[in-house]
Amino acid sequence: TTRIERHHYDVVVIGAGGAGLRAAIEARLAGKRTAIISKSLFGKAHTVMAEGGAAAAMGNVNSRDNWQVHFRDTMRGGKFLNNFRMAELHAKESPQRIWELETYGALFDRTKDGKISQRNFGGHEYPRLAHVGDRTGLELIRTLQQKIVSLQQEDKKEYGDYEARIKVFDETTITELLLDGDRIAGAFGYYRESGEFVLFEAPAVVLATGGVGRSYKVTSNSWEYTGDGHALALRAGATLINMEFLQFHPTGMVWPVSVKGILVTESVRGDGGVLKNSEGKRFMFNYVPDVFRKQYAETEEEADRWYSDPDNNRRPPELLPRDEVARAINSEVKAGRGTPAGGVYLDIASRLPAEEVRRRLPSMYHQFKELADVDITAEPMEVGPTCHYVMGGVEVDPDSGAAHGHVQGLFAAGEVSGGMHGSNRLGGNSLSDLLVFGKRAGEHASTYASGLSARPKVSAPDVEAAVDRALAPLEREDGENPYTLQQDLQAVMGDLVGIIRRKGELEESLVKLADLRDRVTRVSAAGGRRYNPGWHLALDLRNMLVVSECTARAALEREESRGGHTREDFPTMAPTWRTVNLVCSLDGDKVRLEHKPLPKIRAELIQLFDRTELSKYLTDEELADFDALTG
């Protein structure tokens, strides 16, 4: 028989990015025995890569900012498809979560009078991103880890054991959630280094596994973002929403080819950088959509004045939400006005003194110097869209993070959850999302565990089945090569389910995905269980495929263009589609897609908008409701 290491916890948190760590801290503060599991090294999560900052309406730089304005911006950014309750909680609680980080030891950049400094970002009306140069994610992870260490030191004093109540298992991949009926009973996985299996028995699991970008070839995401949490949730009976909405960040590196996709932070534009085509023209002025016309400058002069006098001028169109900028770049390149490497130019060199560029954007300076031999203080960067963030994810209860569907004891927070960002996320709203909803998920997972009269039990046959599934690729000989399969999947998703989508191509993608799903059942990995990346990928592929299928199906179903979903054959936003969430679930191993009405926005929240703006998004029926409300 196969040896399996067993552990018992109250709360198991899968993922050690911002959402996972914040959830784990809360569970431990609630007195729960908590495990943190991470596929990568501890500290190496997407969160650590975040550059620009965390959005929170603290009003430090412009005192007009408050949660209502942040809520409004978030809903606009998501084109009103956001779960309004999540957007409300996020806008209200982000400032507290940022200040709390300082009690954990975080040190954000300061204003002249010593407050936490805040920078401008696309779609945010006021400077709102708390930041540490362009290394904000590093500070976030560092301080959350530090807080965990301090909790472990308390436990050492009390129990004589640092790991009595909170323990980190890094380089450990979870492949299955185990159920007792419809209740979570545990999580099963393997240590990446030894290939040995490990079972965590626990009544509550928090998914905090991040995104799905590795299903695309050009992506800012790193190797571990294979949609594991999304797939684990589906297989446990939970549902996913908004999977058609992927964020293509407008500015990824396009050259050299080996680094294509690596992110160029939006802070470059927030701090004054402008986009130009091969004719040297600032083209974004041609791409301001009607819904945003009132808030964006019409001339270069006005746009430039805005940086020093934001109260009397409108923002530059380079700071439109990301979906708009990505589409604009795509159009310029398609029209033959792209750079030699197929991008556009991003120019900060002619906008700020060299010294200032190095001070504000140190990581970008080094990134371009080392990877492309480009000095961004003297030359423009070449950039183009890159798959960056998934708005879709586990459908959750907004207050608690509890997953919907036929499962209890499962919670989700951070990028793996859906709803908060609607059809498009504003930059900076993820780091704050992690803190707000990570905390909430940790708290509610603990309450759930406390409320159980008996612990759900892991069944031996389920564990055996999990072992068999994990070993299958190693036992098959001469099957499909996992790397070839991944490349084929990336080609399908990039070519047929990319930035601009069409009916025929989406249908073709579903045929190809079905074929890939069939081939994945024959995937084999050479070698043994000790550190074997081919085997790991073989196991990840199953997740990537089911999640990609959800994206393709939902993209085919949604016949409109909104946020991170652009249909060439349905180029406008349709108010009737705004009232619909597309919900994915698994029926056996078939992906099922259903329409579900969006919850109605509460009266005092909808009244934060004026009628003219709402008329661009809402159906006539909804507008009539609004008129009745406002008399």
d(Cα 193, Cα 196) in Å, to the nearest integer? 8
Cα-Cα-Cα-Cα torsion 248, 252, 255, 256, nearest 10 degrees, comes to -100
Minimum distance from CB of 44 to ligand FAD (Å)? Answer: 7
Out of 11, 12, 13, 38, name the contact with ligand FAD by CB under 6 A: 38
Size of the site for ligand FAD (CB under 6 A): 42
Q: Is 274 in the site for ligand FAD (CB under 6 A)?
A: no
Is 352 annotated as belonging to a binding site?
no
Q: Where are the beta strands (DSSP E) in 293-418?
A: 344-347, 381-390, 393-394, 410-412
Out of 11, 12, 17, 138, name the contact with ligand FAD by CB under 6 A: 17
d(Cα 438, Cα 436) in Å, to the nearest integer? 6
The residues, any chain, with a CB within 8 Å of residue 114's CB and separated by 6 or more, are: none
Strand partners of residue 315? 296
Q: Where are the beta strands (DSSP E) in 44-165?
A: 54-55, 118-119, 129-130
Q: Is 268 in the site for ligand FAD (CB under 6 A)?
A: no
C-beta nearest to ligand FAD: residue:
17
Q: In 247-286, which positions are buried (b, 16+ CB within 10 angstroms) versus exposed (e)? A: bbbbbbbbbeeeebbbbbbbbbbbbbbbbbbeeeebbbbe
Choose the catalytic residue: 165, 192, 315, 322: 322
Q: Is 143 in the site for ligand FAD (CB under 6 A)?
A: no
The residues, any chain, with a CB within 8 Å of residue 134's CB and separated by 6 or more, are: 51, 52, 265, 267, 360, 361, 362, 363, 364
Out of 65, 125, 176, 228, name the contact with ligand FAD by CB under 6 A: 228
d(Cα 241, Cα 388) in Å, to the nearest integer? 18
> For residues 67-106, which are near ligand FAD according to CB under 6 A?
none
Nearer to ligand FAD, 58 or 434 (CB): 434
Nearer to ligand FAD, 388 or 558 (CB): 388
Out of 78, 316, 405, 414, name the contact with ligand FAD by CB under 6 A: 414
Strand, coil or helix: 475: helix
Q: Is 392 in the site for ligand FAD (CB under 6 A)?
A: no
- DSSP letter (8 states) at residue 454: S
Both tokens of 468, joined, read 């068999």
Minimum distance from CB of 491 to ligand FAD (Å)? Answer: 22
Closest CA to 393 of 542, 583, 213: 583
Contact 583, 596 (CB under 8 A): yes
Closest CA to 82 of 73, 95, 92, 69: 73
Edge-first strand listing for the sheet containing 590-597: 393-394, 240-241, 580-587, 590-597
Nearer to ligand FAD, 46 or 183 (CB): 46
Q: Is 118 in the site for ligand FAD (CB under 6 A)?
A: no
Minimum distance from CB of 416 to ligand FAD (Å)? Answer: 6
Nearer to ligand FAD, 176 or 622 (CB): 176
Strand, coil or helix: 528: coil
Q: Is 386 in the site for ligand FAD (CB under 6 A)?
A: no
d(Cα 33, Cα 254) in Å, to the nearest integer? 46
For the chain, the distance separating the N- and C-terminal CA atoms, rounded to the nearest angstrom, is 72
Q: Is 208 in the site for ligand FAD (CB under 6 A)?
A: yes
Q: Is 546 in the site for ligand FAD (CB under 6 A)?
A: no
Nearer to ligand FAD, 21 or 333 (CB): 21
Q: Is 428 in the site for ligand FAD (CB under 6 A)?
A: yes
Is 17 annotated as belonging to a binding site?
yes
d(Cα 3, Cα 17) in Å, to the nearest integer? 29
Minimum distance from CB of 406 to ligand FAD (Å)? Answer: 21
Nearer to ligand FAD, 52 or 133 (CB): 52
Closest CA to 498 of 565, 421, 553, 422: 565
Q: Is 367 in the site for ligand FAD (CB under 6 A)?
A: no
Minimum distance from CB of 338 to ligand FAD (Å)? Answer: 23
Minimum distance from CB of 574 to ligand FAD (Å)? Answer: 28
The residue type of 569 is D
Minimum distance from CB of 17 to ligand FAD (Å)? Answer: 2
| Preceding peptide of 256 cis, ω within 30° | yes
Q: Is 361 in the site for ligand FAD (CB under 6 A)?
A: no
Out of 431, 466, 497, 520, name the contact with ligand FAD by CB under 6 A: 431
Minimum distance from CB of 189 to ligand FAD (Å)? Answer: 6
Nearer to ligand FAD, 470 or 485 (CB): 470
Contact 130, 111 (CB under 8 A): no
Minimum distance from CB of 193 to ligand FAD (Å)? Answer: 14
The residues, any chain, with a CB within 8 Å of residue 117's CB and separated by 6 or more, are: 60, 61, 108, 109, 110, 111, 130, 131
Contact 347, 357 (CB under 8 A): no
Out of 37, 205, 264, 383, name the contact with ligand FAD by CB under 6 A: 37
Minimum distance from CB of 22 to ligand FAD (Å)? Answer: 8
Q: Is 139 in the site for ligand FAD (CB under 6 A)?
A: no
**E strand or H helix that includes residue 103:** helix 84-103
Q: Which stretch binds ligand FAD (CB under 6 A): 61-69, 216-224, 295-303, 340-348?
A: 216-224
Is 428 annotated as belonging to a binding site?
no
Place of tokens 């009690």: 103
Nearer to ligand FAD, 544 or 582 (CB): 544
Q: Is 420 in the site for ligand FAD (CB under 6 A)?
A: no
Q: Is 15 in the site for ligand FAD (CB under 6 A)?
A: yes
Is 322 assigned a catalytic role?
A: yes
Nearer to ligand FAD, 434 or 458 (CB): 434
d(Cα 361, Cα 146) in Å, to the nearest integer? 25
> For residues 171-200, which are near ligand FAD according to CB under 6 A?
173-174
Out of 13, 50, 241, 493, name the contact with ligand FAD by CB under 6 A: 50
d(Cα 40, Cα 50) in Å, to the nearest integer? 16
The residues, any chain, with a CB within 8 Å of residue 589's CB and separated by 6 or more, are: 546
Strand, coil or helix: 124: coil
Annotated binding site for FAD: 15-20, 38-53, 228, 415, 430-431
Q: Which residues are catalytic?
A: 322
Residues forming contacts to ligand FAD in the complex (CB under 6 A) are 14-20, 37-40, 45-47, 49-54, 136-137, 173-174, 208-210, 220-221, 224, 228, 263, 389, 414-416, 427-431, 434
Annotated binding site: 15-20, 38-53, 228, 249, 265, 388, 415, 425, 430-431
